[in-house]
Structure 1
Amino acid sequence: MGGLSIWHWLIVLVVVIAVFGTKKLRNVGSDLGAAVKGFKDGMKDGSADPQAPAAPAQQVANSKVNDPNTVDVDAKTKS
């Protein structure tokens, strides 16, 4: 008595199709499939992204070496 038979599910399916229409349900299904695929790709690419560099490259401009406004100091640790 507590379980739903196949006939109950068929009636529910017919009511859902009558309310939303087959075109709307097809669009929802394709959108849901694309969302699941995007989520899986995001989880796979999240750990190792081959296109993104691990750390940005450090660049030193040679013209700044002899700049009179540059101060070269040594950092001292506080003990």
Structure 2
Amino acid sequence: MGSFSIWHWLVVLLIVVLVFGTKKLKNIGSDLGGAVKGFKDGMREGSADEPAAPANPPVGQVTGNPPATADRNTIDVEAQRKG
């Protein structure tokens, strides 16, 4: 009872074909194949068109590096209150 034999799977396949019909199963298979192909093409195009990271981050974005114009003695008010 642990595993199904080949005869069990053939009976299940026969029932599926009788319920859905061969034309419907063919359409489902071709739709699924087209979706997989479209997904692969999209992934391939997405990795090729990915822009490089900008050299300078947008204004106001925290990077970990202080800006060149910042005074080294400046203390962040929010950090001082929380700390």
Task: Normalising by structure 2, report the TM-score.
Answer: 0.58
2:78 corresponding residue in structure 1? none
- Share of identical aligned residues, percent? 73
Aligned AA (2:48): A
Residue aligning to 2:18: 18
Which 5+ residue runs of structure 1 have no aligned equivalent? 55-76
Residues 1:37 and 2:30 aligned together: no
Moved over 2 A (4+): none
Q: Which runs of 5+ in 2 are unaligned?
A: 52-68, 72-83
TM-score of the pair, normalised by structure 1: 0.60
2:7 equivalent in structure 1: 7
CA RMSD of aligned residues (A): 1.5
